Amino acid sequence: MKKIAYLSFVAAISLPVIAVAEIPADLDTDADGVLTIDEVQASFPEVTSDGFSAMDLNADGVLDEDEVTAAQEAGLMPPTES
Ligand SMILES: [Ca+2]
Ligand SMILES: [Ca+2]
């Protein structure tokens, strides 16, 4: 039973649909669904390029909603009001 519950949990968190979109509209000024460093720094000037790189887990130069969520949970980006 325990293993089945675990697999169900993994399946659940693997479905993007389950995740609430966490890209705040007031940060994503061009509304493309990801945050560039310029968009992040517009709201959080204290975020450095090194800090941005730390948040950009897949190093594609932008933060998607998973990376924003992870960054906020890790305290790298201040939580935003929605
Ligand atoms: Ca954007
Ligand atoms: Ca990224």
Domain boundaries, the chain: 22-82
Show the DSSP H helices in the chain as ranges.
2-14, 37-43, 49-55, 65-73
| 44-59 pLDDT tens trace | 999 999 999 999 999 9
Statement: residue 4 has pLDDT above 90: no
Ligand nearest to the CA of 28: 1
Q: Is the pTM of this model over 0.85?
A: no
Statement: residue 6 has pLDDT above 80: no
Statement: residue 17 has pLDDT above 50: no
Q: Which fold has domain 22-82?
A: Recoverin; domain 1 (1.10.238)
What distance in angstroms lies between residue 70's CA and the mean position of ligand 2's atoms?
A: 11
- pLDDT attached to residue 79: 81
What distance in angstroms lies between residue 24's CA and the mean position of ligand 1's atoms?
A: 10
